[in-house]
Amino acid sequence: MRKLVWLFLILAVTLSFAAKDIIVVGTTDKIRTLDPANCYDYFSSNILQNVMVGLVDYEVGTSNLKPVLAERWEVDETGKVYTFYLRKDAKFEDGTPIDAHVFKYSFDRVMRLNGDPAFLLSDVVEKTEVVNDYTFRVTLKYPFSAFVSVLGYTVAYPVNPKVYPADSFYEGIPSASGPYKIKEWIRDVRIVLEANPNYFGEKPKTKTIVINFYESASTLRLALETGEIDVAYRHLDPRDIIDLEGREDIVVYKGNSPQIRYLVINVTQPPFNKVKVRQALAYAVNRSVIVEDVFAGLAKPLYSMIPEGMWGHKNVFPERDLEKAKALLKEAGYDEKNPLVIDLWYTPTHYGTTEADVAQVLKESFEETGVIKVNLKYAEWSTYVEYFLNGTMGLFLLGWYPDYLDPDDYVWPFLSESGAKSLGSFYANPEVEELMIEARKLTDQKEREEIYYKVQEILARDVPYIPLWQGVATCAAKKQVKGILLEPTQIFRYYILYWEE
């Protein structure tokens, strides 16, 4: 009998240790595709970032790039030819070596298939070459100093030519080259990641990660509270986060996010074609009410389009000053008797459930001047996009997630003539455009920084956009789950998660 008790105890202990080999994560995000050539949404990229690797990656916890599949690289004096020297021990899940031929196949495939993110490469890449088995060369159309940052995004990850067809997108399970491989994937139900034995780098701290998909934030929260999941990552509502902070068994993590939110002003549409009106709006906007009342402190006020924490950032927009706003409006021909009547547009679900509140707070902050009357209008996302591309809306809320972590991705898409058109501000300023092209050519970060300071100052003077707030990334997990790191790059690394009793 005693033997049996011992056996039972040993079994129980073994099982309890075995159970720690698995962490269950819950999310309300969905996976669209796991083909890097077509993947352009956050969560699909996030899975790829854990099962695949690229030439470069960000150092854990920072936004500094480090070589991964490339041991090193050289840029020639024209700034257009990049030569990458590859590591020789990298393999796909099935043992296929990751060499220069694989890279050429992958880059050419992305540009040939022309999927959603392909322009990130095809806009700048002139040609790709195999110099030898482990030397890969890329020639650019023009010098572009942020090119290596683009290589950190999943679009530039090499794919296994034995698995990914050359002439069509691939819908199946990726051939892993990173810390994890995909053991099971039931769309919109769950995806199971398991340690990849063929990965050249450090083994993941937890052997199996199960990611469970939920339809709503409330169910996600309940799943964490009932213990069905160990980690809730994207998207809990701000109020739920505050509630969960009060619990002893759950830890809430907050981190920097490169996501920014802003108001777009169509500078061609009256009355927004008057710069004084735009400047007055920038003075009237109340960021602190949005941050505190709507997001319960889970956001940071933003005074430039380049987010805080990124090099090149400079606070250029003014603090709230209603008197100054009124004075500017008076100069533009508006006062209490002849108020400025404007429409403010928002989209109700695309940016979460808080958007209507944000719009209401903005309306109130503008109307506090006593000189502005705001009509709130909204449209569902697909209509909204159509409206801003057509120039239908004069003043509207929008948000931005970067494709690559470089100040260029926060100024070029907004202030270049073509970019501003596609974001609905229709701003065009040759001086700014020249400055940005100059910054793209330079490789010295200090010199580029000086240029971005100038660009931001012009942005605050011309006000085609009003930056409002910067996101705070959040995650809630059981107390015993460690290794959660909300990085400035937004990469959520499952392979550093582990249990600690």
Partner 1 sequence: MSLKNYVITRIVLAVPMVFILLALIFLILRIIPGDPVLAILGGKAPKEVIEQKRHELGLDKPIVVQFFDYIGDLLRGDLGKSTLTGRPIWDEIKERFPATLELTLFSFVIAVLVGIFWGSFAAYRRDSGVDIGARMFSMVMYAVPVFWFGLMIQYVFGVVLRWLPVGGRISPTIDLKVITGIYSIDALLTGNWQALKDVFEHLFLPGLTLGLVISSIFVRMVRNNTVLTLAQDFVKAARARGLKERVVLFRYALKNALVPIFTMMGLQFALLLGGAVLTETTFSWPGLGSYLVMKIRYRDFPAIQGTVVFFAVIVVVISILVDVINALIDPRVRY
- Using CB under 8 A, list all residues that contact partner 1: 22, 24, 30, 32-33, 38, 40, 114, 116, 118-119, 123, 169, 171, 186-190, 210, 212-216, 218-220, 222-223, 225-229, 349, 379-383, 385-389, 398, 403, 413, 418, 421-424
The answer to whether residues 101 and 133 touch, using CB atoms and an 8 Å cutoff, is yes
Q: How far is the CB of 32 from partner 1 (least distance, A)?
A: 6
* Nearest one of 116, 154, 125 to 38, comparing CA atoms: 116
Tell me whether residue 289 or residue 385 sits nearer to partner 1 (CB atom): 385
The answer to whether residues 28 and 216 touch, using CB atoms and an 8 Å cutoff, is yes
Q: How far is the CB of 225 from partner 1 (least distance, A)?
A: 5
Tell me whether residue 131 or residue 189 sits nearer to partner 1 (CB atom): 189
Tell me whether residue 38 or residue 456 sits nearer to partner 1 (CB atom): 38
- Which secondary structure element, helix H or strand E, spans residue 387, and what is its range? helix 381-390
Q: How far is the CB of 147 from partner 1 (least distance, A)?
A: 17
Q: How far is the CB of 169 from partner 1 (least distance, A)?
A: 6
Tell me whether residue 118 or residue 358 sits nearer to partner 1 (CB atom): 118
* Nearest one of 272, 493, 286, 297 to 392, comparing CA atoms: 272
Q: How far is the CB of 496 from partner 1 (least distance, A)?
A: 20
Angle at 318 between CA 316 and CA 319, to 5 degrees: 130
Q: How far is the CB of 30 from partner 1 (least distance, A)?
A: 7
The answer to whether residues 177 and 92 touch, using CB atoms and an 8 Å cutoff, is yes
Q: How far is the CB of 104 from partner 1 (least distance, A)?
A: 23
Tell me whether residue 355 or residue 403 sits nearer to partner 1 (CB atom): 403
What is the tally of helices (H) and strands (E) in the chain?
Answer: 16, 19
Q: How many CB atoms lie within 10 A of CB 37?
A: 27
Query: Cα–Cα distance between 104 and 90 in angstroms, integer?
Result: 16
% helix / strand / coil in the chain, to the nearest 5?
A: 35, 25, 45
Peptide bond into 235 cis (omega under 30): yes
Q: Structure tokens of 291?
A: 């941050």
Q: How many CB atoms lie within 10 A of CB 218?
A: 13
Tell me whether residue 213 or residue 452 sits nearer to partner 1 (CB atom): 213
Give the ranges where 159-263 is alpha helix by DSSP (H).
217-225, 238-245
Q: DSSP strand E in 133-285: where?
A: 135-140, 180-186, 190-195, 208-213, 231-233, 250-265
What is the DSSP-derived secondary structure letter of residue 204? P
Tell me whether residue 99 or residue 433 sits nearer to partner 1 (CB atom): 433
Query: Cα–Cα distance between 363 and 365 in angstroms, integer?
Result: 6
Q: How far is the CB of 443 from partner 1 (least distance, A)?
A: 25
Tell me whether residue 238 or residue 424 sits nearer to partner 1 (CB atom): 424
Tell me whether residue 366 or residue 384 sits nearer to partner 1 (CB atom): 384
Q: How far is the CB of 405 from partner 1 (least distance, A)?
A: 16
Burial environment of residue 246 by CB neighbours within 10 A (0 to 12, 13 to 18, 19 or more): exposed
Q: How far is CA 430 from CA 33, 426, 462, in A?
A: 39, 13, 13
Phi, psi of 395 (to 5 degrees): -140, 120
Q: How far is the CB of 236 from partner 1 (least distance, A)?
A: 14
What is the DSSP-derived secondary structure letter of residue 465? E
What is the DSSP-derived secondary structure letter of residue 90? -
Tell me whether residue 347 or residue 365 sits nearer to partner 1 (CB atom): 347
State whether residue 433 is helix, strand or coil. Answer: helix
Q: How far is the CB of 210 from partner 1 (least distance, A)?
A: 4
State whether residue 57 is helix, strand or coil. Answer: strand
Tell me whether residue 192 or residue 439 sits nearer to partner 1 (CB atom): 192
Q: How far is the CB of 283 from partner 1 (least distance, A)?
A: 27
Tell me whether residue 222 or residue 442 sits nearer to partner 1 (CB atom): 222
